Amino acid sequence: MSTVLVTDGELAGSLAAIRALTAAGHETWVSAVAGSGPTYGSCSRYAAGVVCTPDPSVEPAAYATHVTAAARRIGADVVMPGSEPAMLALAAPPEDAGGALIAVPPAGVVARALDKELLAPAAASAGLDVPPTAVVATGDTRTAPPISMPAVAKPTRSELIAADGHLHRFGVTVVDTRSELEGAIAGLPGGRALVQPYVPGDLYAISGVAWNGRLTCAVHQSAQRIWPPRSGIIAHAVTVGPVAWLDTAVARFLHEFEWSGIFQLQFIRRGGRLLLIDFNPRLYASLALAVAAGANLPAIWVEHVLGGSIAPVEYQPGVAYRSEEHDMRALALALRQGRFRVVAGAVTPRRKRVNAVVALRDPLPVRASIHKLRRKLKRG
């Protein structure tokens, strides 16, 4: 049995990793930002213990020092970052981690993988299609090549340094007019965005583990609902069978980045065509689905880091996943729109479905959901 420290207990992806690693026989600890209150990871019965750290978005150097010190103290064999700020902070830790292996590639590899401007050329080299993409700066929207509306404005990285000098997460914005596009770009640090035409379709994702740029395993999933409606994350999804040519192309894409770790690639599926829209090289929100389908991605990644051998992985199609918070909103919208079949299908019992947070054998992380809701209500 190995001891693993999973960071970012505030995130659903980290909760899924904690549950999966403990189920695989590892002693799993979790870190959480000091003063953040109850988190998914700190409330989980699958966590052997909790360590408090500074916020990696605000104090990356202090964060790395605290995490490596905690790894020494608890005798961790592996430290698994759960977020992009944690990855950036730990890609070059300032001091020895007491023998613990930091499960993150070198800083240069991380920086390239997080750079959204590199997604299109890497996809082209791998044989994957992407929507037409242009880099547009503030003030250039009227002189740029024609941009069809509606359009999508994306930050060049998911986490950008804002005016306060700290990393902040910036999402995708769907715009319907030129003025909305100008406002979306101006609202991003640096005033630059990747702009693509908005392509309606279904969200399709491939998740897995890579090692030194080689694909170890892949799990395919199709989203039935997302939230928010036009630019949201997966609210409900089901695993589907693998597609051989697509796995081959994904393997080439990962080789372009020399990626090692857990990942998720997201596509828009329109008709028979798949368009790559995002690369998440980290623990991702719907990680619990791959684990429930039989592909314990966190345990596979730890096995790689520790130098073990990886047996071929087969996963089960037809397993469902629900993000409780987001799916409730998506279903409420469907109900208001009169799409009663969607709502009826959602409440129909399924043979196997996993939730992002709620679990009969691990009920206490719901406390963190309640805490988050209270904070939102106070702010709102």
The structural domains of the chain, with segments of one domain joined by +, span 3-104, 132-197, 202-348
Assign domain 132-197 to a CATH class. Answer: alpha beta
pLDDT band at residue 100, thresholds of 50, 70 and 90? confident
Query: With contact defined as beta carbons under 8 Å apart, do 147 and 195 qualify?
Result: yes
Residues 137 and 187 sit within 8 Å (Cβ to Cβ)? no
DSSP 8-state secondary structure symbol assigned to residue 146 = P
Identify whether the C-beta of residue 50 lies closer than 8 Å to the C-beta of residue 32. yes
Mention every residue, 6+ apart, whose C-beta is less than 8 A from residue 259. 105, 109, 113, 210, 213, 281
> Mean per-residue pLDDT for 130-146?
80
Residue 290: predicted pLDDT: 98
CA nearest to 319, candidates 355, 285, 289, 284: 289
Say whether pLDDT at 373 is over 80.
Answer: no
Indicate the range of 51-55, 154-158, 323-327, 372-376 predicted with least confidence. Answer: 372-376
Same fold? 3-104, 202-348: no
Q: Which residue type occupies 201? A: G
Provide the mean pLDDT of the chain: 93
Contact criterion met (CB below 8 Å) for 214 and 221: no
> Looking at residue 139, what is its pLDDT?
78
- Examine the pLDDT at 94 and tell me if it is beyond 90: no
Tell me the residue type at 159.
Answer: E
Contact at 8 Å (CB) between 279 and 265? Answer: yes
DSSP 118: G
Strands of the 214-227 sheet, one edge to the other: 273-280, 261-270, 202-211, 214-227, 233-240, 320-322, 353-355
Q: Six-digit token pair at 276?
A: 């790559």
pLDDT at 256 exceeding the cut of 90 = yes
Structure tokens belonging to residue 177: 């007019």
CATH 3.40.50.720 at 3-104, yes or no: yes
CATH architecture for residues 202-348 = 2-Layer Sandwich (3.30)
